[in-house]
Amino acid sequence: MEKRENLDVCQAIKNRKSIRAFLKKDVSDEILIEAVKIAQYAPSSANMQPWQIVFVKGQKKQELADQLLNAYDHKIPANPDMSAYLDQWIDPYKTRRFQIGMQLYQALGIKKEDHERRNTQMRANFDGFGAPVFGFIHMNPEMELGSYYDCGGFVQSLILALYTFGLDSCLQASVTDFQSIIKSYLNLPSSQKLLVAIAIGYGDYDHPVNSFRAPRANLNEFFKIIK
């Protein structure tokens, strides 16, 4: 099992970033299992541990990706269980979204008017950017809002554990637009809440899409100490 050596939790949090191009290298079941074993120590209200996760690999992953790509190509209407997008964006979130989009397209040399290449990059989401593994976090629909926070803590713990084992990832909201296709393929009850997809694999750090790092807000934009 490959590991990023001498990496403490603070370094892992700061060093990890979203990866959108992956090497054609298999991910062992052993690493996925060990990462989940670590992530399940994430805190949750009353220790309810509401998260559930499915990994899809190999031919099964590609079959599912093909269905998702087909849905995107045929402009099937988005129907996520939990939307990550606003109808009308407001600042500072609008500006931050614009900035990260510009960073991505500039890294790839895609101009604003190049709609074909922009669409190609958007389409890549639904193949998990070529990652060998799709992860899907889902939850019992009867759980309340607090359990969404708990699942978020689990996801953060999971991607950090994967990172320490040498794996990279990208959290994907767009993939869950086609939650009904995913649930049907994975034999999940249609009532389950599909929260997020995760592309997982070994990052291709020579690919230009992975050359940039998203900036972070200044502390004075969101932080204070009252005493």
Query: What pTM, to 2 d.p., does this model score?
Result: 0.95
Rounded distance, CA 176 to CA 43, Å?
A: 25
pLDDT score of 1 more than 90: no
SS3 19: coil
Residue with tokens 């849905």: 71
Q: Is the pLDDT of residue 5 over 90?
A: no
Q: What is the pLDDT of residues 31-52, one digit of tens each?
A: 999 999 999 999 999 999 999 9
* Cα dihedral sign, 53-56-62-66: negative
pLDDT given at position 16: 97
Give the fold, CATH level 3, of 9-84+126-213. Answer: NADH Oxidase (3.40.109)
Enter the tokens of residue 53. 């996760």
